[in-house]
Amino acid sequence: METKTERTEPQMFGHPKGLFYLFFAELWERFSFYGMRALLTLYMVNVIFEALSTRDYAAAAVYASYGSLVYASTVIGGKISDSILGMRQSIFLGGVLMALGHFVLAIENDMAFFLALAFIIVGNGFFKPNISTFVGTLYKDGDTRKDSGFTIFYMGINIGGAIAPLLCGWLGATYGWHYGFGLAGIGMLTGLLCFWSGIKKNVFGEGGKPPSMEVYEKKVLGLPQKTLIPLLAFLSAPLIAFLLYSYKSLGEEGTAFEDTNIVNLLFYLIGIAVIAYMANIMIKAAPDERKKLFMAVLITFFMTIFWGFHELHGSVITLFAARNVNLSIINASQTNALNSIFIVILSIPISIMWTYLAKKRLNPRTPYKFGMGLVFAGISFYILSLSGASADENGMVPFSYLLMLYFLISVGELFMSPVGLSKITDLSPKRIVAFMMGVWFLSSAYAFQIVGFISKQLAIESTDSDVGGLDTLYIYLDGFALIAKYALVAGVVVLIFGPLMKRLMGNVH
């Protein structure tokens, strides 16, 4: 029985027209996000922490906390949008905060740097989850175009992620860091403009409006919530900045390294709370639901491990590229574009491959795809760890090894990330899908805790701006070999337990 009225929103290329506005808005938002990420670690090592012998360590700590918070904030942003603001206002608020963050980064000042990161953290929390959910709401339940809609959207993400490091990395190296950061900010404003023009042209219909005008306008502490929330969001930035600023002293003379800091502690606590909450849901669930939920938790866990290696791109791999890779056409920041370039090239062939295999009834089920994804990550790091054999006397290795790393890990990403996204929605009971999406994003947040741990182990201690050479190379290569081992073991374990996990999934493929 058809209960909803037929949607009349305009269509384009066989999809709701709104998709293309969200596509460009997200493309530009990711442009700003990845343009800035390409410069971040090098900027910290060469400018913010330049004077410290432990600058790698301090940069690793900030990068990890920034990454963890930037993804954890999406859970809060998603929740506030669901209950009060609605997706439209949340996306605007997030976009403005992120643009502000990027422009503040263009100011040459240490305190401004940490404040800027904080603005981006809060802004991403409002923007990222809501624009992704918005895509889903363009389609009715059971609309078969939804998967391909998400594939198109994932392409937008990666087109932004491919162009931005090339442009911002070039600007940063040629004219100065702050021009690169400034361009990221302009990218974010362009994204907002795309979204705004979609609203002006009325392509979203009623979609994304506040869930209840009464709640939206309701006064709390003397202010309507629609004003209070943006205000609190702005005010939370200095607080987060203060938290991150505490890293400024990491390794300064007289200060000891603290391996556990407030952000780590926060994540332990959130982790315990989420596990307890999940356990409670699972105990109460019907047996069939329980099995599927358990599987959803497992794939989220595997994804965390994968991102933990993958997100090293913006830290250790960028430093490795700067110090030990023979680069001629592009610079170290620009190598950050490679992952997204491969995703853009490979996503259509790989999705065609799944359809082809499905027709022959050979499409591997999710646990096998996840196992293989981790194995790809392992092989990618293994190959990079072999690059020492081709190193010159200055400890520089050929670019082709870095290219192989990015190629293989991107294949792994396509075996896991888009597949997992749709399986989470299939495996979770309807009433907690939104919460499970939050948990899915939290996997990226926890991944940055792994990134922090690894990058700190691979931090090179030196104030010499020409750090590099054979000694540095071997520290990195040993690290990559170890990462490869862990990723391979994880992948093989997942593959071995594949048949068991397959059973948990019931009818979900």
**How big is the CA angle at 263 (ends 260 and 264), to the nearest 5 degrees?**
45
Shorter beta-carbon distance to ligand GLN: residue 42 or 409: 409
Query: Shortest distance, CB of residue 445 to ligand GLN, whole angstroms?
Result: 9
- How many residues bind to ligand GLN according to rule CB under 6 A? 4
Closest approach of ligand GLN to the CB of residue 265, in Å: 22
Query: In this complex, which beta carbon is closest to ligand GLN, that of residue 42 or of residue 157?
Result: 157
| Shortest Cβ 39–ligand GLN spacing (Å) | 17
Phi, psi of 219 (to 5 degrees): -85, 130
Does residue 307 bind ligand GLN (CB under 6 A)? yes
Q: Which residue is nearest to ligand GLN (CB)?
A: 444
Q: How far apart, in whole angstroms, are the C-alpha atoms of residue 400 and residue 321?
A: 12
Interactions with ligand GLN, residue window 326-385 (CB under 6 A): none
Q: Which is nearer to ligand GLN, 26 or 56 (CB)?
A: 26
Nearer to ligand GLN, 347 or 444 (CB): 444
DSSP H or E segment with residue 361: none
Toward ligand GLN, which CB reaches closer, 336 or 444? Answer: 444
d(CA 78, CA 94): 11
Amino acid at 450: I
157 binds ligand GLN (CB under 6 A): yes
Instruction: Give the nearer residue to ligand GLN in terms of CB position, either 157 or 281.
Output: 157
Q: Which residues pair with 220 in a beta bridge?
A: 223
Q: Does 139 bind ligand GLN (CB under 6 A)?
A: no
- 3-state SS class at 468: coil
Residues forming a β-bridge with 15:
12
CB of residue 171 to ligand GLN, shortest distance in Å: 21
Residue 443 and residue 304 in contact, taking contact as beta carbons nearer than 8 Å: yes
In the complex, minimum distance from the CB of residue 157 to ligand GLN, in angstroms, rounded to a whole number: 5
CB of 439 to ligand GLN, least distance (A): 13
Structure tokens at 53: 């012998």
Angstrom distance (rounded) from CA 384 to CA 121: 32
Interface residue with ligand GLN, options 261, 333, 444, 472 (CB under 6 A) = 444
* DSSP H/E element including 46: none
Phi first, then psi, for residue 229 (nearest 5°) are: -65, -50
CB of 500 to ligand GLN, least distance (A): 27
CB-wise, 306 or 320, nearer to ligand GLN?
306
| Closest distance of CB 304 from ligand GLN, Å | 10
From CA 507, how far away is CA 509, in angstroms rounded? 6
Q: Is the CB of 177 or the CB of 342 nearer to ligand GLN?
A: 342
- CB neighbour list of residue 432: distance below 8 Å, 6 or more residues apart: 281
DSSP per-residue letters across 321-341: HHHHB--SSS-TGGGGHHHHH
Residue 221 CB, shortest distance to ligand GLN, in Å, is: 34
Q: Site for ligand GLN (CB under 6 A): which residue of 22, 23, 28, 30?
A: 30
> Which amino acid type is present at position 130?
N
- How many Å is the Cα radius of gyration of the chain? 22
State which residue, 293 or 451, has the beta carbon closest to ligand GLN.
451
Nearer to ligand GLN, 101 or 498 (CB): 101
Question: What is the DSSP code (8-state) at residue 208?
Answer: T
According to the binding rule CB under 6 A, does residue 435 interact with ligand GLN? no
- Residue 477, Cβ density class (10 Å: 0-12 exposed, 13-18 middle, ≥19 buried): buried
H-helix or E-strand containing 175? none
Distances (CA, A) of 139 to 9, 275, 434: 10, 32, 16
Tell the smallest beta-carbon distance from residue 307 to ligand GLN (Å).
Answer: 5
* Minimal distance, residue 145 CB to ligand GLN, in Å: 21
Determine if 410 is a binding residue for ligand GLN (CB under 6 A): no
Give 68 or 264: the residue with its C-beta nearer to ligand GLN.
68
Closest CA to 66 of 115, 129, 3: 115
Are the CB atoms for 463 and 52 separated by under 8 Å? Answer: yes
Chain contacts with ligand GLN (rule: CB under 6 A): 30, 157, 307, 444
